[in-house]
Amino acid sequence: MDIPGYDVAHLLAGGMVLVSFMLLYQDRMGALLNVFALHATVLALSVAWQAYVQHAPHLYVTACIALGLKAILIPSALRRIVRRLDIHREVETTVGIGMTMLVGVALVALSIVLMLKVTVGVDPLGRQDLAFALAVLLLGLLMMVTRRNAVSQVVGFMSLENGLILAASGARGMPLVVEISIAFSVLIAFIVIGLFLFRIRERFDSVDVADLHTFRGDRA
């Protein structure tokens, strides 16, 4: 692989980490969905670049799936759900946004340490790309943990998926079968979550997870 190739891949992986931080920063639903679309677009670009550099045409299909499904279809569907269920547009967090971002930086540091210690002897830029992918995964998980609103938790889950795909495409040699199955599982998960949201909203007039906890009878 030529060095400029790795440079661009590195830049795109870093861009995904940057967009993950932007996801953590948002406090309005509409902006959150737009940034998520950006996240998926950058993922598509990165996978397409990997397809070009590795001469692996099946990765082009993966890139198209990411672009079509995650950058266009899912955000618009989520936007419609938000409008239909009349979910209010502010993203509530459990800890402050500043604190969340500080923990995010610590998570990125953790993934760098982990990756660089575990994969010794691999070429440097490839190791960093893997570290970035792990960081995107952890940041998606952080988003799921620190958000109260179910829609934002879905977005966090999606960005976690994106991190996995980034890691898999960079690691060279993920067959299309696995990719299709992942895509379908994401789709099914999305449908289930959508139905779930609709039922919750019908029953309880709200999708705030803290309220669900109360209704479950765990806390007074």
Partner 1 sequence: MIRAATLQIGQALLVLVLAPALTGVARKIKSRLQQRQGPSLLQPYRDLWKLVHKEAVVAENASWLFRVAPYLIFGATWTAASLVPTFATGLPFSTAADLLAIVALLGSARFFLALAGLDVGTSFGGIGSSREVMIASLAEPALIIVAFTLALIAGSTQLSVIAAFMTSGDVGLRVSLGLALTALVIVAIAENARIPVDNPATHLELTMVHEAMVLEYSGRHLAVIEAASSLKLLLYVSLIAAVFVPWGHATPESAPAQYAIGIGSYVVKLAAGGALLAVFETTIAKMRVFRVPEFLGASLMLALLGALLMFVTRSL
Partner 2 sequence: MDALSLSAGTTLDMALIGISVLLGAGVAAAFAARARYGARTIYVACLITTAAMLAASLSFLIVGGATESRHLPIGLPWIGMHFDLDLLAAMFLVIVNLGGVSASLYGIGADAEEREPTRVVPFFATFLGAMNMVVLAADAFTYLISWEFMSLSSWALVMAHHRDADNRRAGYLYLVMASFGTLSLLLAFGLFAGPSGGYAFADMRALHLEPLRAGVVFVLVLIGCGSKAGVVPLHAWLPLAHPAAPSHVSALMSGVMTKVAIYGLVRIVFDLLGPPPIWWSVVLLILGGVSALLGVLYALMEHDLKRLLAYHTIENIGIIVIGLGLALAFEAGGIGWAAALAFVAALFHVLNHSLFKSLLFYGAGAVYATTHERDMEHLGGLIHRMPVTAFAFLVGSVAISALPPLNGFVSEWLTFQAILVSPQLPEWGLKFLIPAVGAMLALSAALAAACFVKAYGATFLGRPRTSAAESAHDAHASVRVALLGLVVLCVAAGILPGYVIDAIAQITTRFVGADMPLQSTQGWLTIVPIDAARSSYNGFFVFLFVAFTAWAAALVIRRVATGAIRRAPPWDCGYVDSSPALQYTASSFAQPIRRVFGTWVFRARETVTMPKPGDTRAAHFAVVVRDVVWETLYVPIERLVTSVSTRADRIQFLTIRQYLGLMFVTLIGLLSLLALTQ
188's tokens: 């099914």
Give the separation between CA 213 and CA 104, rounded to whole angstroms. Answer: 26
Q: Does 17 bind partner 1 (CB under 8 A)?
A: yes
Task: Out of 5, 21, 144, 208, name the contact with partner 1 by CB under 8 A.
Answer: 21
Which residues are 149's β-sheet partners? 208
Give the separation between CA 24 and CA 155, rounded to whole angstroms. Answer: 11
**By rule CB under 8 A, what string of x and - marks binding of each residue 121-140 to partner 1?**
---x---x---x--------
Residue type, 213: H
Q: Does 117 bind partner 2 (CB under 8 A)?
A: yes
Task: Out of 1, 109, 171, 180, name the contact with partner 2 by CB under 8 A.
Answer: 109
Q: Does 122 bind partner 2 (CB under 8 A)?
A: no
Cβ–Cβ under 8 Å, residues 132 and 13: yes
192 Cβ neighbours under 8 A, 6+ residues apart? none
Of partner 1, partner 2, none, which one sits near residue 117, judging by CB under 5 to 8 A according to partner kind?
partner 2
Nearest to 92 by CA among 138, 39, 35, 27: 27
**By rule CB under 8 A, what string of x and - marks binding of each residue 66-105 to partner 2?**
------------------------------x-xx------
- CB-based burial, 14-29: b 16+ in 10 Å, e otherwise: ebbbebbbbbbebeeb
Site for partner 1 in 137-176 (CB under 8 A): none
Count of residues in contact with partner 1, rule CB under 8 A: 26
Q: In which residue are the tokens 């949201």 written?
A: 197
Of partner 1, partner 2, none, which one sits near residue 61, judging by CB under 5 to 8 A according to partner kind?
none
Q: Which positions lie near partner 1, rule CB under 8 A?
A: 7-8, 10-11, 13-15, 17-18, 21, 25, 27, 96-98, 101-102, 104-105, 108-109, 112, 116, 124, 128, 132
Q: Which positions lie near partner 2, rule CB under 8 A?
A: 96, 98-99, 109, 113, 117
